[in-house]
Structure 1
Amino acid sequence: MDLIERVRRWAVARPCVLVVDVPGSTALRWTVEAELDRRGWPLALSPAGADLLLVVGTPGEDLAQAVDVVWSQVPGPRHRASISTGDEVSSALDAAVEALGEAAGRGQPGDDERPSPGDLLEQRGGGDHMAMEHGGTDADGHGEGVPHADGHAMDHAGMDHGAMGHGGHGEMDHSGHGGMDVAGLPMAGTTPDRDGLRLDALQVSLGPVLAGWPPGLLLHGQLQGDVLSRVRLTWVDADTGDERPASDSGDARLLALDHLSRSLEVAGWPTAARDARRARDRLCAADPADVEAGHRRAARLARRVRRSRTLAWSLRGIGVVGDAEAGPFRGDVFDRVRWWCELASAPEPPADVPPGLSLERVAGALDGAELAAARLVVASLPLSHPAARRMPLSARV
């Protein structure tokens, strides 16, 4: 084994993992995330930053198509794996490392070995899919090692809200679209903005495959500059019904820690997100000592998050929900993060948690928001998940 091959294998020994969870696979995702945290493998927020694409559960037809598009955007060396039961998590990850090492030893694959996302979208129905932004907005964080006024250091990984993942659509193939589409994606038109000025308006989509994003959620909207308008939310392959954690204990604190983990991951605080997942995993344990340790970890995390001035500065004023019927989910993203902290650190589990918000209400909170803020808003809100809202991808234009 020469030096170059050794370096390549070393580089993929701790891969970045993009987890794609299927509606109804929450408990399995928790098992996968626990094993990833135990191994110290970081989570990727976009296909461009991933080495391993890990599909958790069995996706439906529409979601499987979206996964194919995301897979085409993952750079090499890369590997794709699927996990359907908790028993195969460890072996699947071991096999993934071995496969990545072999792929690294072969070197970078040629561009002709993989289809472009535009080609895949054309195969699925051409322009009917609009701009399926499965890579999404890379709202990675708030700056690595930002000092806190309370003496803590947030390891925020750089507030890269400008990195809108358009990977894979650079090849402008105008053939077959009548001059109006590029690689199966509609070109921008002009419409009046909120001030009455006529600006370019591009039809965009977020999801259904996105880190820190509800599984199967698809956002359609109009983008003028970096501002979203005419937002519509629908579910992909939503026949499984309500997406609530399938835990034996029924402890609402598990739900709170899960939302807290996703919100902090999208906000760019990966170590705090990992602590939330570890507290959640301890609370799921059968050993009373582990459960007590989970309570202590959740309380420490809640204090740390509530006192973070950098996090408050970053999230204040984003995604304001003013409807009184929203209950504890009123206010902005930081208000909701603080509420999840209170729920997660409660000494006793609450009797019940308010139901998720309707898609129409969440769409209203996203209307007028910046594109980079949309992921933060969605990560902080629980959504109702009725199967009646399911529509095929080809109909969502």
Structure 2
Amino acid sequence: MSDSYPMPKDWRCPLDPPAGFKRLRQEAPVSRIRVWDGSTPWLISGYAQALEALADPRLSMDFRLPGFPHISPASATRRDRLLPFPFRSDEEYRAQRAMILQEFSPRRMEALRPLIQRTVDETLDAMLAGPRPADLMVAFALPVASLVICELLGVPREDYERLHVISRTIGSRTEGREAVERALDEMDGYFQRMVDANKREPGDTLMGRVVAEQVLPGKLSEQDAVSMFQFLFFTGHGPSAYMFGMGAVALLLNPDQIGEFLAAKDPTQAVQELLRYVTVSQNARQRAATEDLTIGGHLIRAGEGVLVQLDSANRDETVFSDPDRLDVNRAPHRNLSLGHGIHLCMGRALALIELEVVFGTLFRRVPTLRLAVPVEDIPFKQDENLLGAHEVPVSW
């Protein structure tokens, strides 16, 4: 009998992946798992096998392929709609990715550092001037992540809270089809209005440039632009906000690592360790086999689904010594939190800068920051694709 997915998690150790993944890594790093609709895709839990799968072009992210593994009703709901470009054929994905790749170049992202620093400082000023205890998620993590991506895309700052609520429904593991449909309709409508506004007067923003350079000349349809911008907002604020919050929790639970982080000669290396230890993407990367292939000695046939579990791969004891320990001085390594292969996160450079500025500023400016409740009393979100919390009470 196959294990069921998602696997049960011990929320007393909220930053650790489900213990079942460790058993599978050691016994069967490529194995069958049963998902909500009764289907049994392959689950890849080991690092080497995950690396191999993410790099294999025969494993596609195209939602429309037979056997594509939908791991929740919300995922299946998106199958019947216009899909964002990462969830189409590799050819379509590459074409649209090329239209915006320069927007996320390391040089352009580095030019955003002063904006990121100012956003972090102003948000932190407001939190410190407010009541104690404060909710680190609402007062700091979510505003910083949202305001930066809003500035980059050209989304009005005052709209981020509403868009975040819609995004949570879309990213839920438990919401029904109708609720997800309504949320997707609302998100589509919002970004259609943004496209219309930029057609009339393109702004000096990512959306404005894409509309002017791709939509108006007819290289990209309006519908594809709407889908693209929705995806960029969705992935550009939620994972970052949750990583800010959960990364702070990880450091507060390992206070010896705070000083090490602040003293690190290579802040990027320290950030990479936080990304490995706190893999906020709880859902596996979904793929469908377009041809027969072998991974980890197992034949995966064309038309079968594959789930690549990143948080499990990032705790693989054959790759990372003492993997359940946070060590910001860990030797450089390649964690899979931001993906691998052609679907490596486009916003990788932005994410690394944000994390460096966020944690460096937070713990330098508030050296007495502490959790205001025991970790077991933090209300973690147990029904979302991302590892987060409804609130993280902190004081100083």
TM-score by length of 1: 0.26
TM-score by length of 2: 0.26
Structure that is richer in strand per residue: 1
